[in-house]
């Protein structure tokens, strides 16, 4: 009984966090915000929100957003997930793969059965420890970040940084999924992290990208579209390997005439 009450209490705390995070969702089309919170083994947590795209099928669901953030931050020690809305069957199947099962307390909470859940503490800060002041260091850092990629199917690890005006860097890596359509690229991973943490596009300074095994690496069309919807003028630095200097472009040069609503 005591245990049940404690779990209920914890669930209320997590639900409150989800409600707060939900206001950061980018849902100009459906106007239906959605969010999740991932609780980690030490009580730290990671938010994830729904990020809609004018090119609708590119919409990032909240769990995918949060999970890819967790991978990029090297924090896969998830012990519970709380949803603002019960997840779809594909997401539920993936939660099972992560050994997170539906709690008796409600369809919005999934938890590891074997561990006692910690009390939620502070969110994980979504930044690398290094601040980036000289831009040529960005691709080198992006190359290091690529080691965090989860790319067992393509074996094509990608790392990126979204540098902010103050030099802090949000890491992004590609995160592949057994259902390939639920794979997310490094660039959209970093973008989704920024939005989930309420970091406005106006303070994004530049993106750095390294496809470590491809010296011609460049953002895919879907990433160009999502970036263009938020910051068409964002500079993008692309790694060209150890022998060559990186190439600098801009989102709207990479996707001229991109589709936008309004």
Kindly list the catalytic residues: 187
212 lies in the binding site for ligand THU (CB under 6 A): no
Q: Which is nearer to ligand THU, 87 or 172 (CB)?
A: 172
Q: Hey, CA dihedral for 48, 181, 73, 142, is it positive or negative?
A: negative
8 A C-beta contact, residue 163 and residue 190: no
Contacts of 62 (CB under 8 A, 6+ apart): 25, 34, 35, 36, 48, 49, 50, 83, 84
Q: Which of 185, 199, 228, 234 binds ligand THU (CB under 6 A)?
A: 185
For residue 160, give the 3-state DSSP assignment. Answer: strand
| Candidate residues 186, 199, 206, 251; the one interacting with ligand THU per rule CB under 6 A | 186
154 belongs to the binding site for ligand THU (CB under 6 A): yes
Told to check if 249 binds ligand THU by CB under 6 A, we report no
Shortest Cβ 28–ligand THU spacing (Å): 25
Contact 56, 206 (CB under 8 A): no
Burial zone of 258 (CB within 10 Å; 0-12 exposed, 13-18 middle, 19+ buried):
middle
Does position 258 interact with ligand THU (CB under 6 A)? The reply is no
Write down the least CB distance from residue 249 to ligand THU, Å.
13
- In contact, 41 and 77? CB cutoff 8 Å: yes
Q: Give the Cα separation of 237 and 3 in Å (integer).
A: 52
Instruction: Name the 3-class secondary structure at 37.
Output: strand
Which residues share a beta bridge with 72?
none
Q: Scanning residues 215 to 244, which ones bind ligand THU (CB under 6 A)? A: 219-220, 223
**From CA 67, how far away is CA 63, in angstroms rounded?**
6
The residue among 31 and 155 lying less far from ligand THU, judged by its C-beta, is 155
Which residue number, 20 or 179, has a Cβ lying nearer to ligand THU?
Answer: 179
The CA distance from 102 to 146, in Å, is 32
- Decide: is 182 part of the binding site for ligand THU (CB under 6 A): no
Looking at 13-21, 116-124, 182-190, 244-252, which segment touches ligand THU (CB under 6 A)?
Answer: 182-190
Cα 7 to Cα 49, 118, 141, 175, 244, distances in angstroms: 24, 10, 41, 31, 55
Q: For residue 151, state whether it binds ligand THU (rule: CB under 6 A).
A: yes
Question: Cβ of residue 188: shortest distance to ligand THU, in angstroms?
Answer: 8
From 55-63, 64-72, 88-96, 179-187, span contacting ligand THU (CB under 6 A): 179-187
Each residue 40-79 as x (binds ligand THU by CB under 6 A) or -, in order, gives ----------------------------------------
* Contact set with ligand THU (CB under 6 A): 151, 154, 156, 158, 174, 176, 183, 185-187, 219-220, 223
């Amino acid at each position: 009984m005591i245990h049940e009450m404690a779990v209920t209490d914890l669930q209320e705390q997590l639900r409150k966090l989800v409600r707060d995070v939900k206001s950061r969702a980018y849902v100009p089309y459906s106007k239906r915000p959605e969010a999740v919170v991932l609780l980690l083994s030490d009580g730290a947590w990671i938010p994830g929100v729904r990020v809609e795209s004018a090119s609708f099928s590119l919409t990032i669901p909240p769990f995918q957003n949060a999970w890819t953030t967790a991978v990029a931050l090297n924090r896969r020690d998830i012990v519970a997930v709380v949803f603002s809305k019960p997840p779809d069957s594909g997401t539920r199947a993936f939660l099972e793969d992560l050994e997170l099962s539906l709690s008796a307390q409600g369809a919005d909470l999934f938890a590891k059965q074997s561990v006692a859940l910690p009390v939620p503490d502070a969110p994980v800060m979504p930044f690398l420890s290094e601040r980036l002041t000289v831009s040529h260091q960005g691709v080198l850092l992006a190359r290091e970040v690529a080691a965090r990629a989860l790319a067992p199917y393509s074996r094509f690890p990608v790392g990126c940084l979204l540098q902010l005006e103050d030099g802090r860097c949000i890491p992004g890596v590609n995160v592949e999924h057994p259902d390939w359509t639920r794979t997310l690229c490094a660039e959209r991973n970093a973008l989704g992290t920024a939005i989930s943490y309420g970091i406005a596009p106006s303070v994004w300074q530049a993106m750095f990208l390294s496809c470590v095994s491809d010296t011609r690496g460049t953002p895919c069309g879907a990433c160009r579209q999502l970036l263009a919807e938020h910051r068409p003028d964002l500079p993008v630095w692309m790694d060209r390997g150890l022998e060559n200097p990186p190439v600098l472009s801009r989102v709207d040069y990479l996707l001229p005439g991109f589709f936008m609503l309004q």
